[in-house]
Amino acid sequence: MGLIFKETDNKPVDPKVARTRAMLLSLPFALLGIFALVLLLHDGLLGGLNRQKAMGLLSAAIVSGGLIALIFGISAKKQAQSISLAEIDDEKPWLKRKNWADGQITTSSRKAGWLLWIFVGFWCAISAAISLVVVPPQLHQGNLAALIALIFPVIGLAMIFYALNTTRAWRKFGRSIFAMSAMPAASGGTLQGRIQVQTRLQPEHGLHLCLSCVRRTTMGASNNRQTSEKILWQDEKWLRADLPQTGLNATDIPVFFRLPDNLPESAVSSGDGIHWKLEASAKLRGPDFHAAFDVPVFKLPEPPAIADDPTAPFQMSLDEIRRQIHSHIQVNDLPDGGKEFIFPAARNPGFASGATIVCLIWTGIIAVLAWNRAPLPFLLVFSAVDLLMGAFVFDLWFRRSRVAVNPEVVTIHRAWFAFKKEQRLPAGEITSIASEVGATAGHAAYHDLKVRARDGKELMLAKNLDSKPEADWLVRQMIAALKRPA
């Protein structure tokens, strides 16, 4: 019976279809029961029915009726279970994912490592074929532009190095588990739990926790689909190296983040939609530790209770965080009771170097197109994008800012070499100073400091701060210099 009524999906059973199916399955038993009753009545009325035969026919009729009732009972139960499951899915969508329903969220498995190596092998094979088959004949013909194809083997070497580090990390740390204290995490509440690592972690400088709300979007045709991610919100914490050890070969990492109540819920599927990502990383001797989890965040009907932060005893001080991230931002007291904030140029060399490499590769592509006399519209479009990228890179390397804040006025000085710009905003016109997510690179978000005026105008105080705790601390310092409540 279980095989007969087994469903191939989680869709609710159509009552009409279920009744028809039960009637068809019951028809043979109904005919058998009716035939037994007819014989029982016929032979009984004619007086040619002994007791043994009568009991046999009566038993056949009763068994047939029982089987019919069983069939309709199983059908009704399946309908009730299906409706109940549909209601649960509507009220508790996080139960659709097994690891969310269990409250034990794991990192990516060994299968992801094998897929990475397959992709690396495919890339290296294609790039080697291009380098050995295409480049030499083109160079023999005097086409020096073919040397640009050598960038593919260089990328392949970098991918091999990355895959080796990933494999070493997997062999050392295995699969980490994030055990949530409450399932799911509630919007406006907290994300709380413990990351269980199957080895003893001894970070050199501490452990970094980051929670991001990311919108994933896939665009393009089926043969040219591109997936992009935009960080809507991000928070981070730095924990000291003296984390609680649960054994000789295990470490528990406490997790606690306060969640905003104005962001979308998690998507149940792993494709497009909103994804809340929890990441933990630490620099160690040998391969570095990194674990990522897709956590469920949903709006609940009852307001969530806010508990105390269990990570507070392990959090680094702001001075320790600033030393850890090698911050070059200076904060000085002014004679008028205000504060001066100095943001030097090239304070994010890693971010600036990565953007520079991308810009140079794009410029090389334009050079190849120009060398091969590509159509003018293509060159104009690519060149316009290259100019925008070049301006962004120039700003990263050479923009320096100085912000002076006192109870009367906020003064912003910006400079690019000899070019300088100054803006002033009276303190009475300021409604708020806040940090917002600005540029992003992968799952790393850089924060901008902005001041808002009563007329709706926004002024940029500083750009591309790579630490959320430092950005929030700078906001508090600026508000304090205004002599007004936070």
**Residue 371 backbone class (left: φ over 0; alpha: ψ -120 to 50; beta: rest):** alpha
Q: Which of 207, 214, 218, 306 is nearest to 256 (CA)?
A: 306
**Residue 185: other Cβ atoms inside 10 A:** 25
What's the pLDDT score for residue 86?
47
Q: Find the angle CA(412)-CA(414)-CA(419) to the nearest 5 degrees.
A: 140
**CA atoms of 457 and 414, how far apart (whole Å):** 18
Instruction: Work out whether strand 207-219 and strand 190-197 pair parallel, antiparallel, or are unpaired.
Output: unpaired
**CA atoms of 286 and 384, how far apart (whole Å):** 43
What's the pLDDT score for residue 11?
44
Terminal alpha carbon distance of the chain? 67
**Residue 50: other Cβ atoms inside 10 A:** 9
Q: Find the angle CA(116)-CA(120)-CA(126) to the nearest 5 degrees.
A: 145
Instruction: Output the CATH code of domain 342-348+387-481.
Output: 2.30.29
Q: Which of 414, 384, 386, 389 is nearest to 400 (CA)?
A: 414
Q: Does pTM surpass 0.85? A: no
What's the pLDDT score for residue 2?
41
**CA atoms of 7 and 401, how far apart (whole Å):** 65
Q: Which of 181, 211, 186 is nearest to 299 (CA)?
A: 186
What's the pLDDT score for residue 223?
57
What's the pLDDT score for residue 252?
85
Q: Looking at domain 110-314, which of 3.40.1390.20, 2.30.40.10, 1.10.3470.10, 2.60.40.640 is its CATH number? A: 2.60.40.640
**CA atoms of 148 and 441, how far apart (whole Å):** 25
**CA atoms of 388 and 359, how far apart (whole Å):** 10
Walk along the chain (486 residues) in steps of 10 and give the mean pLDDT of each run: 41 54 61 59 55 57 60 59 51 79 75 75 78 74 71 82 82 85 88 87 83 85 70 89 72 90 85 89 84 90 77 85 84 87 88 88 83 81 90 90 90 89 88 85 81 87 87 89 70
What's the pLDDT score for residue 4?
40
Q: Which of 434, 394, 438, 435 is nearest to 416 (CA)?
A: 394
Q: Which of 385, 296, 323 is nearest to 103 (CA)?
A: 296
